[in-house]
Amino acid sequence: MNFPAVRPRRLRATPAMRRLVAEVKMQPQELILPAFIREGITEPNPITSMPGVVQHTEDTLRRAAVEAVENGLGGIMLFGIPTERDARGTAGIDPNGILNRGIKAVREEVGDDLVIMSDVCLDEFTDHGHCGVLAADGSVDNDATLEIYGEMAVVQAQAGAHVLGPSGMMDGQIAVMRQALDEAGLQNTTILAYAAKYASAFYGPFREAVDSQLQGDRRTYQMDPSNRREAIREVELDLAEGADMVMVKPAMSYLDILSDVAEMSPVPVSAYQISGEYAMIEAASANGWIDRRASIMESVLSIRRAGADTVLTYWANEVAQWLREGR
């Protein structure tokens, strides 16, 4: 049958009809809020390139976690910014370091009512800004970095993280972390692997958010934006090493990758709507060029439609509130 008997517009006739037949429906519990805690500040510090996002104190981070619970979010992903850095990122393995204190504070505040996630990476903690320690020739030493990642994983889990997010793209990082956790009696700690993380130009505002000291780039370990098949290889390796969930990052420019991963993954798939994606929409809406709310909702929906089970987004709380209003 064809037109005039077939009229697809019938299923678009009213808002109620469109809601009824929507192929993808979003829920607050599918959203994860990335949040930053900074050492040495007494008030939240606004991030200028990300309007509405701040570096938290411990007290305001606690409040942000409570708000996330109240809005029905699925989780919170924590990043720490220390006052002192060194070449090995030792603040990252200090049980009293700022990230581990933040994890502990959030766990004390919300318990198991929110899935507490934490970033396992050295870039916030090193004085050179790379995701691993450096060899004598200035390259990132993969295997020496793995040892530190294992220590970080155990310390963060002991601080109270339910889920660890290794984002450094070191070869073998999942296997090393899983072994370290299991040997420490932390078999129930979950690993969300940043399995396909690309060397993107859209990370710019995040560098301000974590006060990055990076000189140069991370193209020797993050993935080449030209490569699609390689993402499947990376995911397969992480799964073989024991990843419980996998992530694609960024989201917007890599929806094809996300779709590929979602198609083959036997475990839940996340995608990270990164700082540059956030900043562009905020800038365009501030200039009156686009409708802010509609653009945010469409952008998050596109990530879910491409196959993400969960989405890390700085708009998590707002989107959750809008979803509730819509119901």
The DSSP-derived string for 73-124 is -SEEEEEEE-S--BTT-GGGT-TTSHHHHHHHHHHHHHTTSSEEEEEE-STT
Residue list for the binding site for 5-aminolevulinate = 207, 218, 275, 314
DSSP 3-state assignment of 166? strand
Q: Would you list which residues are annotated within the binding site for Mg(2+)?
A: 234
Q: What angle do CA 320, 168, 56 make, to 5 degrees?
A: 45
Distance CA 110, CA 128 (A): 34
Q: Which of 133, 249, 310, 312 is catalytic?
A: 249
Q: Does residue 249 have an active-site annotation?
A: yes
Query: What are the b/e assignments for 260-289, b being 16+ CB within 10 Å?
Result: bbbeebeeebbbbbbbbbbbbbbeebeeee
In the DSSP assignment, the letter for residue 198 is B
Beta-carbon-side half-sphere exposure of residue 38 (alpha carbons within 13 Å):
17
| Candidates 88, 128, 178, 197; catalytic one | 197
> Which H helix or E strand runs over 269?
strand 269-272
- 208 token code pair: 């301000």
Whether omega before 268 lies within 30 degrees of 0, making that bond cis, reads no
Name the residues annotated as catalytic.
Answer: 197, 249
